Structure 1
């Protein structure tokens, strides 16, 4: 695989670290700014909202720009946001830093998916995309625990200084390794948005929301499931989350390779497997050994869908692949929010701490049904002809 893919992975690692590490540092941030932890939690929800906005708005604005230059500009924005977070004297400027960093998140992965796919032959596109997203999974496995430990040992600001340095490395790698591409000729911003007239694009987005929402809804309340149902001590939760993160990493790589071989079979198997794993986890959550296995499989099946879902929307949006890819990144975040809301609703209804797992299984089953429908409709993979074309067709 081209070295340029690993430059994108470094950027993905820094972005993933920015998104997730704040959760482990909220007590220190809240104390420093003298705000409640609930208010400090706005740094997480504010980031997620900005990701969704940037994924579509910023990607569309950069649609007529050479993709290498676009990625460089996004990394500069990412570095600036983390530097502002590191030196922020008050909560308001900290929030601004988080928003600046988040704006580049969706656009980076959206444009980066197209660049990654263009760097390799058509039969390796999903695997190439999985390498870029591999940086995000490594951030979950290693980056978040290490970033939390650094913030607790040297002050939470040190973590954001470190993330800014990672951004500089990614910037240098992209500048040195990503080839320049001519700006797409012709067209207009309005023309870019015509990609959303495709029913298959919207079905792809819906599958992403439901499929990822099912997993993330269960993930959002894992700490409660592990301690209240599984009987694990609270001190074991970070280590158990590393097991989940290992599943993410392995699933991402395996899912990319499988999607290159047969996209529809891969997505059908993965969505089915994820629904079964979530239901099985709910049934065996009181057994510690079964819980560890379920965590590994939940992460593996859940994130293995990501390269295939990105590949599918790229193939159905050849006239504006970067914008559609960015919209799919926004869909992942909408799925996060939807899953967390649904899981919380089931708990508030008194259904217990395994209820987010059951809800996740149901939502993932809905994703599978929507995908099966999409493959049979005109333009779908199983409708007699395949429209999944290389991303380069958009140039």
Structure 2
């Protein structure tokens, strides 16, 4: 497990980088004299490149020593963040964010596949949970720290801090990580065949729909709270969501290993997530209960990845990195689609208070697909 913790440092840096940028956008607007919609592209391009890099580069580099690929990914990620901090123009910043997204998209699925390879089969769920927990911890601990640094110094210093974290993880992997090959890359025909398999496609579809609902709704937390409750600060609700995420991501591996039924566990996760989202408008008026839906939503959202990865690795043991990369891409593409859909429905006249209900319905659709997976005859 010590080597799995090395991978977790890199995942911490990824979680830190992916979520802190949204909080830095107002300061970027001031620096580059741009509008809020333009600044938002810094988030979009990172997410888009993250999603594309995962399957493309994992396939291109598969078969090479895993340690070398992980080091390369962290180097690209760190260089991208350093270049972001040095960017003299907004166009340069966008190119740097794209580079950081490519590095993150390569590292994340390979780190998950490597963690699963380092432990016995009965501990695979725990290893995946710890690795994903690094990313959720980066969100909970890193984002407030990054915003604190930006407020007292500048937003570039926050990115330099993330750069340093990436290099620390890279050095740790160089020194202590075992050198074993990634799984051989699947051919183009094999990749199409992988996606054509109903069960693999269905699992990735569940990930995609869940991400549209969960990460899409996260984008509009501030708007929802402004519409439903006169709250002086958004931070407590973000903390509640993030703390739930840490609890969910670190505990889900134990339940996977204990029950050995990741499909059933995923169904339970989706059920609780749908209930939590549905309850948001009803719980907000009550101070004691108002944070509970956010804790449950964060916990289930972050916990949902490990059972999916576990099942995909079981179905495609010879192409683990590639299939986990596809799942990672579905997750981040779902985030981008969810944000876009949320904006579209708000422009169309849907009130922000309706978004939790819409997201809950999407999660129920994912639950329906999950039930079909569970009760289909193929094992």
TM-score class, shorter-chain normalisation, is over 0.9
**1 CA distance for matches of 2:304 and 2:185?**
34
Residue 265 (str. 1) matches residue 264 (str. 2): yes
The Cα shift of 1:272 comes to 0.8
Q: Could you say which residue in structure 1 is the equivalent of 2:114? A: 115
The superposition leaves residues 212-251 of structure 1 with CA deviations (integer Å, 9 ceiling, x where unpaired) of 2222232221112223212211xx2023211110000001
The 1:36–1:115 alpha-carbon spacing in structure 2 relative to 1, beyond 3 Å, is same
Residue 256 (str. 1) matches residue 250 (str. 2): no
Gaps of 5+ in 2: none
The 1:182–1:342 alpha-carbon spacing in structure 2 relative to 1, beyond 3 Å, is closer
The 1:210–1:246 alpha-carbon spacing in structure 2 relative to 1, beyond 3 Å, is same
The Cα shift of 1:346 comes to 3.6
Q: Could you say which residue in structure 2 is the equivalent of 1:77? A: 76
**1 CA distance for matches of 2:184 and 2:21?**
41
**2 CA distance for matches of 1:287 and 1:162?**
38
Number of corresponding residues: 377
Q: Superposed, which structure 2 residues align to 1:157-172 within 5 Å?
A: 157-172=156-171
Q: What is the DSSP-based 3-state SS (H/G/I as helix, E as strand, rest coil) of the residue aligned with 1:182?
A: coil
Q: Could you say which residue in structure 2 is the equivalent of 1:28? A: 27
**2 CA distance for matches of 1:217 and 1:120?**
34
The Cα shift of 1:50 comes to 0.5
Q: Could you say which residue in structure 1 is the equivalent of 2:274? A: 275
The superposition leaves residues 191-216 of structure 1 with CA deviations (integer Å, 9 ceiling, x where unpaired) of 45542232211111100011222222
Q: What is the DSSP-based 3-state SS (H/G/I as helix, E as strand, rest coil) of the residue aligned with 2:351?
A: coil
Residue 229 (str. 1) matches residue 228 (str. 2): yes
**1 CA distance for matches of 2:186 and 2:299?**
40
Q: Could you say which residue in structure 2 is the equivalent of 1:391? A: none
Residue 68 (str. 1) matches residue 67 (str. 2): yes
**1 CA distance for matches of 2:140 and 2:183?**
37
Q: Could you say which residue in structure 2 is the equivalent of 1:354? A: 353
The 1:146–1:183 alpha-carbon spacing in structure 2 relative to 1, beyond 3 Å, is closer
Gaps of 5+ in 1: 381-395
Q: Could you say which residue in structure 1 is the equivalent of 2:237? A: 240
**2 CA distance for matches of 1:105 and 1:164?**
12
Residue 181 (str. 1) matches residue 180 (str. 2): yes
Q: Could you say which residue in structure 2 is the equivalent of 1:295? A: 294
The 1:23–1:185 alpha-carbon spacing in structure 2 relative to 1, beyond 3 Å, is closer
Provide the alpha-carbon RMSD of the alignment.
1.7
TM score, norm. by length of structure 1:
0.91
Q: Superposed, which structure 2 residues align to 1:1-40 within 5 Å?
A: 2-40=1-39
The Cα shift of 1:38 comes to 1.4
The 1:209–1:184 alpha-carbon spacing in structure 2 relative to 1, beyond 3 Å, is closer
The 1:379–1:111 alpha-carbon spacing in structure 2 relative to 1, beyond 3 Å, is farther
Q: What is the DSSP-based 3-state SS (H/G/I as helix, E as strand, rest coil) of the residue aligned with 1:289?
A: coil
Q: Could you say which residue in structure 1 is the equivalent of 2:323? A: 324
**1 CA distance for matches of 2:270 and 2:316?**
23
**1 CA distance for matches of 2:184 and 2:205?**
30
The Cα shift of 1:183 comes to 5.3
**1 CA distance for matches of 2:338 and 2:255?**
26
Q: Is the 8 A contact 2:62 2:184 kept in 1?
A: no
The superposition leaves residues 308-346 of structure 1 with CA deviations (integer Å, 9 ceiling, x where unpaired) of 111122222223111110111111112212222333344
The superposition leaves residues 256-285 of structure 1 with CA deviations (integer Å, 9 ceiling, x where unpaired) of 221222212211111111111111223333
The Cα shift of 1:187 comes to 6.1
TM score, norm. by length of structure 2:
0.94
Q: Could you say which residue in structure 2 is the equivalent of 1:151? A: 150
Q: What is the DSSP-based 3-state SS (H/G/I as helix, E as strand, rest coil) of the residue aligned with 2:352?
A: coil
**2 CA distance for matches of 1:217 and 1:79?**
27
**2 CA distance for matches of 1:365 and 1:354?**
18
Q: Is the 8 A contact 1:230 1:288 kept in 2?
A: no
Q: Is the 8 A contact 1:343 1:355 kept in 2?
A: no
